[in-house]
Chain A
């Protein structure tokens, strides 16, 4: 029997013919990286290839690594295997990875969403025979509201807090979610302050995307100047001493998990905005259908449930264990996972 083009081993998703890994979780010689979140782009590979807008991002995170950038839809060949990157719409610089050999096409989705968020290049469906997909929110209970409505809620919330003379503290991952929030905050309401981790990442991305002005919070920042303004902070700042500077403040979290009341309460934020950089249930189904794939492999999230449902639709769907952090969610504040939000 002929070997599959992509296989799952202890290091990651492996293409034996090309001797290349996709988003490996252990150090390897050659890695093609879907995007800059920590569980997909790890330290220690000898050589990295990723989308060119992701290059400064992973260099910022991983230091001086041997990385080269590619454009979307640009084909590059390794040992007769054709590779190309395609927009995944997850965060800036995120790609799906297409792999073709002897007429057989596989696509690895990385993380993705279908809605155009105005920062990342929007998702494009890629036809393939086998589709390796995430399904972080692969449950019919997840149904996103258009981001326009969510941002209008966020800005209303900020304005109400400002009127009540309180500082708004909004939590979102420092890569991806923070910039998406930043893009749509209404600066007519007030000023935007940032936690250092978010400011550093945003500085890296600013040359590529137009963002409103932000002010980094430092030791010198006073309560008075923050009052009524909005602070963007990573989830790990919740409950830290750093946040005491904001008193009196109101907190909110922007994440797909906020769809659940239990998650909102566990997170102990005053407000939860349902805003995700992953697909909801319907988006996942739409994406799977658009690929035309007959084989689907689910890597992280509600994999068992989603693949079982795909089987009822007649697809050859199964799950594979990976170290992408699908079941982690916002409650994991100590060890911040940049991957899921």
Chain B
């Protein structure tokens, strides 16, 4: 645990990528095999199930710190991280623990089945015994989610540095479902075995947003165009008569989409498709909110299946006849995909081709993009015809060119403290519009789009213009106007206005506007119809 805590401390105390990679690869070289596997698991968000609920942790911590629970909660709102708050408020010790990371995690796995009394004894005993930083790490392991600026990619790079195994191969190996409690470092990282790869997806290739003029991309004939669909980016794998559906967050979501099981009977083994899962009620593309309701459900009922069926809009093929096609040029992959889709026509499988659009000039490309709302897309995808399928977000060959967002001027009415880097700063805002009775009604929450220095200014303004406090939330004097951008509007009970927006974010601070000049709810409704 000492080494792991030291590693987390180092990772947490630098913003420099090279230092992080070095610290992590040094750790990988020295740690025991078990600790390495657990470290990979934790840094790739495969933590063990939470053994103790956080309500109990809060109660125990406030008892141990000898402070009332409300004071603990206030501290938590300000610190912004539960494990850190606990580590800060409970009395400290100077001891290091001799126990390894793996031992702690095994204990936590076993802890889940124990009584609350036993759990309390275990947790508070460790809080008392561990020094500040180990106590923080220990509590983090219980509450989950190390957000310390270590992406999967950075971790893979460090592991590659420590093992001399190619980074892309490692990325592939570490994907998918594996259990850190049972798998060995040898099996996970070092050994190559074909059967391991049955469920494994390929790392997704992600596009950057277009910067500057689209015509800067050069000859329009070098590029392929299709609409950018607004659903769940997914890989659908058919191997040895089994189906696997992976979402971009590397989550295996096969069970969420039972309608895709019919694929195995028709699509040959050794096929991997890249595409978008879209809601498809009444045989047309629905809204993202339809899909979101469905994703949120633990079990997919028949009624839900009937109400919100889904389809796969396929745009790429990564494996065909068991062969990895990623090094083939895009148009070659597309040709294979299109011939497969032709074979499937008439089968009524919930799979559609994401059609390419032929454009002979950048002007034509632009007018196709203007059709986005009509096509129920978010804009265009622009892919170089001879591009290979790369790993992660890379510039150069794939671009997304989204439609301009809808915008509206709204009044800041509530603010909440942020988390992590923004803890102790008010950075999460709620915005309101004028209703028919000239009252401000909330319609959106946004917490991105301002620069750090603007956030500081707004934060300081909020502290001076607070009307009421509700725990971490403050209501503020209606005075500041912001232009809010978003992608769509739906009716919703989430906000007072009865409407909700998709991807709301702050476009700019309208210092030139008074609150009377902010938009009306009517204006929002009018935008809905466009």
Contacts and interface: CB of A to CB of B under 8 A. Distances in A.
Contacts of B14: 270
Contact of B469 (A268, A272, A304): A304
A262 B71 contact: no
A261 B84 contact: yes
B428 interface: no
B88 interface: yes
B441 interface: no
Contact of B88 (A143, A271, A304, A334): A143
B203 to A, nearest CB: 27
Interface in B72-108: 72, 74-75, 78-81, 84-85, 88-89, 92
A312 B425 contact: no
Interface in B144-161: 149
Contacts of A271: 13
A302 B78 contact: yes
Contacts of B12: 261, 264-265
A142 B132 CA distance: 13
A214 interface: no
Interface stretch (B30-38, B257-265, B415-423, B511-519): B415-423
B456 A332 contact: yes
B477 interface: no
A262 B423 contact: yes
B403 interface: no
B67 interface: yes
B269 interface: no
Most chain B CB neighbours (cut-off 10 Å) among A142, A261, A302: A261
A161 interface: no
Interface string A305-341: 1001100100000000000000111011010000000
Interface string B240-259: 00000000000000000000
Given A139-B75, A141-B79, A262 B420 contact: yes
A145 to B, nearest CB: 9
A262 B420 CA distance: 5
A28 interface: no
Given A139-B74, A139-B78, A141-B75, A260 B68 contact: no
A259 B88 contact: yes
A331 B75 contact: no
Interface in B40-87: 65, 67-68, 70-72, 74-75, 78-81, 84-85
B80 A262 contact: yes
A5 interface: no
A3 interface: no
B422 A141 contact: no
| Size range of the chain A interface in the assembly | 20 to 34
Nearest to A272: B13
Contacts of B65: 140
A1 B68 CA distance: 36
A331 B456 contact: yes
Given A140-B65, A140-B89, A262 B81 contact: yes
Contacts of A262: 79-81, 419-424
B463 interface: yes
A266 interface: yes
A308 B71 CA distance: 9
A261 B419 CA distance: 11
Contacts of B13: 264, 270-272
B453 interface: yes
A263 interface: yes
Contact of B78 (A141, A270, A309, A328): A141
B15 interface: yes
B67 to A, nearest CB: 5
A286 to B, nearest CB: 15
B421 A266 contact: yes
A263 B419 CA distance: 11
Interface residues of B, number: 36
A309 B79 contact: no
Given A140-B89, A272-B13, A304-B469, A309 B71 contact: yes
B74 A334 contact: no
Contacts of B78: 139, 141, 302
Contacts of A302: 74, 78
A261 B422 CA distance: 10
Given A140-B89, A260-B423, A327 B75 contact: no
A59 to B, nearest CB: 30
Contacts of B16: 270
A266 B88 contact: no
Interface in B418-457: 419-425, 452-453, 456
Given A139-B74, A266-B421, A305-B74, A334 B453 contact: yes
Nearest to A268: B15
A265 B460 CA distance: 19
Point out which of A259, A266, A305, A332 has the most chain B C-beta atoms below 10 A from its C-beta: A266
Given A139-B74, A139-B75, A302-B78, A265 B420 contact: yes
Nearest to B83: A261
Of residues A304, A329, A331, which shows the largest number of chain B Cβ atoms within 10 Å of its Cβ? A331
A266 B424 CA distance: 11
Interface in A19-76: none
A143 B425 contact: no
B88 A312 contact: no
A141 B88 contact: yes
A260 B418 CA distance: 13
A227 B16 CA distance: 20
A263 B71 contact: no
Contact of B67 (A140, A260, A264, A331): A140
A85 B254 CA distance: 73
Nearest to A265: B421
Interface string A253-277: 0000001111111101011100000
B150 to A, nearest CB: 13
Contacts of B67: 140, 309
Contacts of A332: 456, 460
Contacts of B80: 260, 262
Interface string A135-159: 0000111110000000000000000
A77 to B, nearest CB: 37
Contacts of A259: 88
Given A143-B92, A272-B13, A266 B469 contact: no
A142 B16 CA distance: 27
15 contacts: A140-B88, A140-B89, A141-B75, A141-B79, A141-B85, A141-B88, A260-B423, A261-B84, A265-B15, A266-B422, A266-B425, A270-B13, A272-B13, A302-B74, A305-B71
Interface of B: 12-16, 65, 67-68, 70-72, 74-75, 78-81, 84-85, 88-89, 92, 149, 419-425, 452-453, 456, 460, 463, 469
Given A263-B423, A265-B421, A312-B68, 6 more contacts: A140-B65, A141-B75, A143-B88, A260-B79, A309-B67, A331-B456
5 smallest CB-CB distances across A and B, nearest first, come from A262-B423, A141-B88, A265-B421, A141-B75, A140-B89
Interface of A: 139-143, 259-266, 268, 270-272, 302, 304-305, 308-309, 312, 327-329, 331-332, 334
